[in-house]
Amino acid sequence: MLIDWFTLIAQLVNFLILAWLLKRFLYQPIVTALDAREKKIASELQHAALVENEAKQSMSEWKQKNDDLEKQRMLLMQQAAKEADDKKAKLFIDARKESENLRARLEESLHNEQKNLQQEIIGRISTEVFSIAKKVLTELADVTLEDCMVKVFCERLRKTEKADIEVMRGLFHQSNHPPIIRSAFSLTPEQCDSVNKTVIDLFSIDAKISFETDTNMISGLELSMNGHSIKWNIQAYIDALQLTVEVALEGDKKEKEHVHDKQPAQHSP
């Protein structure tokens, strides 16, 4: 008999024990690990899908924000460019105004300086002329310039028009202030008497004339009566002379400009 019954039963039991042991130590742990891993992979995939969706959403949001920012940037750039242009124009206008003001001030300053220089020159010329005339009169005619001037002044007073005389007389009666004679030099008593007599005779007034010396005057005399005055001095003479010179200079300048304007036209083909 090939079958040993004890061995058969023992092998059957052995096999059942082996099946149970392998289930305990092999199949169950592996199946459990497989299930756990499968679950984990499914979870990871689900999580990945979730993250992907979130990423897509975030990317969409960021793209939208980026577009908005780009539009905003363009708008700001345009605004900035416009503001810069406006500012540039304003600064240009301000600079032009400033330049014009500066030029005006410079011109005024130059004009003042020219005027001052002119005044100084006039003063010096007057002084020189006055001193030369004084010296010439003294040495050649044995008369003083002051005497001549008083004499001429008196003559001029007598030649004053009647209307002016009436006006001045009216002014004297209104205020009752004494007439004032101003001179660049001190008058001698004879000269004072001469002037005094001429004024009283001319205006037919009974008043004591006041004599004053004005060092600012270059030369000559002035009758002042309640704000109205009759002058005879070198200043008036020089003013007239200056006016004549200015007119002559102006004419010369215009002639030069006219010639300068014509020159390019002659050279043009």
Count of chain residues binding other proteins (CB under 8 A): 35
Question: Which of 3, 140, 163, 259 contacts other proteins by CB under 8 A?
Answer: 3
Query: Tokens for 15?
Result: 């096999």
Pick 4 or 128: Cβ nearer other proteins: 4
For the bound state, the minimum distance from the C-beta of residue 50 to other proteins, rounded and expressed in Å, comes to 17
Residue 48 interacts with other proteins (CB under 8 A): yes or no = no
- Which of the ranges 11-19, 72-80, 124-132, 177-185 carries the binding residues for other proteins, by CB under 8 A? 11-19
Of the candidate spans 23-31, 75-83, 150-158, 227-235, the one that interacts with other proteins by CB under 8 A turns out to be 23-31
**Residue 41 engages other proteins in binding (rule: CB under 8 A):** yes
CA–CA separation, 210 vs 195, rounded Å? 11
Contacts 24+ apart (CB under 8 A), 237-243: 238/122, 238/125, 238/126, 242/118, 242/122
Q: Which lies closer to other proteins via its Cβ, residue 22 or residue 241?
A: 22
**44 sits near other proteins (criterion: CB under 8 A):** yes
Does position 51 interact with other proteins (CB under 8 A)? The reply is no
Sort strands 210-213 and 220-225 into parallel, antiparallel or unpaired: unpaired
Stretch that binds other proteins, among 16-24, 100-108, 189-197, 215-223 (CB under 8 A): 16-24
Minimum distance, C-beta of residue 38 to other proteins, in the bound complex (Å): 10
Backbone phi, then psi, for 132, in 5-degree steps? -65, -45
Quick one: which H or E segment has residue 73?
helix 28-136
Q: What are phi and psi of 4, to 5 degrees?
A: -100, 115
Residue 1 or 265: which CB sits closer to other proteins? Answer: 1
**Separation CA 183–CA 232 (nearest Å):** 10
Query: Contact, 218 vs 149, CB < 8 A?
Result: no
The SS3 assignment for 181 reads strand
Phi and psi torsions of 225, nearest 5°: -135, 100
CB of 80 to other proteins, least distance (A): 55
Q: Does 47 bind other proteins (CB under 8 A)?
A: no
Asked whether position 193 contacts other proteins by CB under 8 A, the answer is no
Q: Which of 30, 59, 89, 93 binds other proteins (CB under 8 A)?
A: 30
Tell me the C-alpha to C-alpha distance, in Å, between residue 134 and each of 143, 221, 234, 258.
9, 16, 13, 44
- Quote the least distance from Cβ 51 to other proteins, whole Å: 16
The residue among 34 and 102 lying less far from other proteins, judged by its C-beta, is 34
The rounded Cα 22 to chain-centroid distance in angstroms is: 106
List interacting residues with other proteins (CB under 8 A). 2-12, 14-23, 25-27, 29-34, 36-37, 40-41, 44
